[in-house]
Amino acid sequence: MILDCHNISKSFGTDVILREASFHIQEHEKAALVGINGAGKTTFLRIIMGLERADEGEVTFAKGTSVGYLAQMNMLSGGLSIYDEVAQVMQPVIDMENSLREMEDRMNLTPPDEIDELMERYHQTQTHFEQMGGYAWKSEISGVLRGLGFSDDEFGKPVDSLSGGQKTRVALGKLLLSSPDLMLLDEPTNHLDLNSIEWLENYLLNYRGAVLVVAHDRYFLNRIVSKVIEIDRGHVTSFAGDYSAYSEKKKQLRQAQLRAWQNQQDQIRHQEEVIARLKSFNREKSIRRAESREKMLDRIERLEKPSEERSDMHLKLDARVESGRDVLSASNLSKSFEYPLFENLDIEIKRGERVALIGNNGTGKSTLLKILIGQMDADSGSVTLGTNVHIGYYDQEHQILHPDKNLFQELQDAYPSLNNTQIRDTLAAFLFTGEEVFKLVRDLSGGERGRLSLAKLMLSGANFLILDEPTNHLDILSKEILEDAICAYSGTVLCVSHDRWFINRTATRILDLTGQTLIGYAGNYDYYLEKHDELTQRFASSKTHSSGGVISSSNASHLTMAQSSSSDTASAGRTDWKKQKQQQAMIRKKEARLRETEDEIASLEERGSIIDDQLSREEIFTDIGKVTELTTEKADIEKRLEALYDEWASLAE
């Protein structure tokens, strides 16, 4: 056992956060800490780290355990570049490498009677350096930064110039490279795009230490964890298995608790009826029996009624007017800033579709949505809305909210036909009650702004919802409520999201914004994963032959859906035969280079081992000339290996 939390209790004033909460983490175990917003997840992590004091209880680590913590907000500063900031965790290895170079420089100047001692120290340091993976430290840093979404051009950026989300990614990179025995991660996926989340999943799956993670990304949790620790109204319960197993067991447990409560209520009701009947006889014997039953009833330990499922937020989306069949048509859309985001995009959206727009950070997804709703002009192209289309827009930055208004005014000004009671009822449905309705928008947290935006969206009656990251800052329960509302919605939806579970539940079609173009997939996220590699290879070779230098979304979607048609597939196959051959040749060439790289790495590593063995021999390490020759060759090998490691990593992707 690497961590044991025993009977932890914590209150803030009259608010009880944790009640005698206990759980443990085993070595190498990956566990999730879940619960609604405000349940106490972050507080619990801070108690474990000693940043917050528990009122009662004890946190115990196994002897010698190293612990790393990623907070939600990380205020890195100090003027270093991204690369140098992350490299700080490698300082022991860097210092050792510098020591080796220093000893190599001294070898030619060391008197013969001191050379043996120097060579022995050099050999010991070099062995330790290799054991710590010293020859690969630069590649490790580059690999982690790339995995977390930083391009090579950004490595030199000052940390002070980064956004809060970028600083959190840098802090996550430092934590991963420090490789503690136990990692505590508070919302590590918040600022990552899909590719980076998938990279982090694979990293953590192969991580040898233990991990305790707070996350609302259910797809991520399903892949990573084998235990779920739930905080529910202060009580902590552990469940074996991934998130799906926890969700099913939680449902079964609640049903069992509800049945037990209902059975007890039936028994109590029956006893009360018997007592009342006995008392109605108004005889001494019957009254004594009634009193005896009353005492027995008083001794019963009353079960607490299980909380209502999804009682925290009430969301129902209604389209007041039905739109025409053609909801949106966009033709030849292009947009550039310092560099082109996308070119000549064509989009067609029909009534009733639920379209998810996905892509890496910086590809232009939010920009595209703003062009479609008229908040931003395209460099070229046109956008046409269909008949009776009324847009409801959810902005991830919540810029459509007025910072100087309070919540009540925000709804009152947007919907003047609502009376005071209707406005308060709507806000209460999104957890704003009492004096909270008079809080200023600028004082709200990210999650509170999200709930207020959803309240306005619910009242809009729009038949075409355009949503930019609607699940940001929502807890899992609130996400499920939103998913149900969207699935029951009779209108049309276009949504940008990095939440794969949300996409999988709600989307009927996916548009992938990649390589300045759109590729369409006629299905949910599972279908996208199934077809992604196949279609990307197919469309990549076609890209340079399309009219605008890109593949339009309508063409891509047509090709995707055309796979179900044998005649279309055959025709496409004949047309693309030459391109497929070229693609296959490129793949074979890449595989051949991968094998060559692996062979060269193996050969150089073997030669490096031979040199190490030679340097340990007395007849060699007493020969200054030979030592200089071998150490120079070893340095050249290290430099070549570093380049090969980078090339191998790129080819293996």
**Three-state secondary structure readout of 533-558:** HHHHHHHHHHHHHCCCCCCCHHHHHH
H-run or E-run covering 357:
strand 354-358
What SS3 class is residue 203? helix
- Sequence-distant (≥ 6) Cβ neighbours of residue 578 within 8 angstroms: none
Assign 581 a pLDDT band (cuts: 50, 70, 90). Answer: low
Where would I find the H helices in 112-242?
112-131, 137-147, 164-178, 194-205, 218-224
- 267 vs 568: which has the higher pLDDT: 267
Q: Is the pLDDT of residue 545 over 60?
A: no
Task: Name the β-bridge partners of 393.
Answer: 466
Q: At which residue do the structure tokens 């990210």 appear?
A: 446
Q: Is the pLDDT of residue 577 over 50?
A: no
Q: 1-76+162-253 sits in which CATH class?
A: alpha beta
Q: Is the pLDDT of residue 311 over 70?
A: no
**211: nearest Cα among 180, 233, 241, 242:** 180
Note the pLDDT tens digit of each residue in 152-205.
989 999 998 888 888 999 999 999 999 999 999 999 998 888 889 999 999 999
**358: nearest Cα among 521, 163, 554, 558:** 521
Decide the pairing of beta strands 210-214 and 182-186: parallel
User: Do the domains 1-76+162-253 and 326-390+461-575 sit in the same CATH topology, yes or no?
Assistant: yes
Read off the pTM. Answer: 0.73
Distance CA 195, CA 647 (A): 20
Assign 237 a pLDDT band (cuts: 50, 70, 90). Answer: very high
The mean per-residue pLDDT over the stretch 116-122 comes to 83
**87: nearest Cα among 153, 137, 148:** 137
**500: nearest Cα among 189, 226, 230:** 189
Decide the pairing of beta strands 15-25 and 3-12: antiparallel
Tell me if 358 sits within 8 A of 511, measured CB to CB: yes
H-run or E-run covering 596:
helix 577-615
Mean per-residue pLDDT over the chain, rounded: 85
Domain boundaries, the chain: 1-76+162-253, 254-299, 326-390+461-575, 579-652
Distance CA 370, CA 502 (A): 22
Assign 551 a pLDDT band (cuts: 50, 70, 90). Answer: very low
Q: Is the pLDDT of residue 323 over 90?
A: yes
C-alpha to C-alpha distances, 617 to 117, 142, 621, 627, nearest whole angstrom: 13, 36, 6, 11
- 315 vs 69: which has the higher pLDDT: 69
The mean per-residue pLDDT over the stretch 496-515 comes to 93
Note the pLDDT tens digit of each residue in 9-29.
999 988 899 999 999 999 999
- Long-range CB pairs of 127-135 (<8 Å, 24+ gap) are 127/612, 128/96, 129/93, 129/96, 129/97, 129/100, 130/612, 132/92, 132/93, 132/96, 133/93, 134/93, 134/96, 134/97, 135/638, 135/641, 135/642
Assign 549 a pLDDT band (cuts: 50, 70, 90). Answer: very low
Q: Is the pLDDT of residue 334 over 90?
A: yes
- 431 vs 60: which has the higher pLDDT: 60
Say which CATH topology domain 326-390+461-575 has.
Rossmann fold (3.40.50)
Of 300-314, 422-436, 551-565, the range with the lowest mean pLDDT is 551-565
- Sequence-distant (≥ 6) Cβ neighbours of residue 8 within 8 angstroms: 18, 20, 21, 22, 44, 47, 54, 56, 57, 58, 59
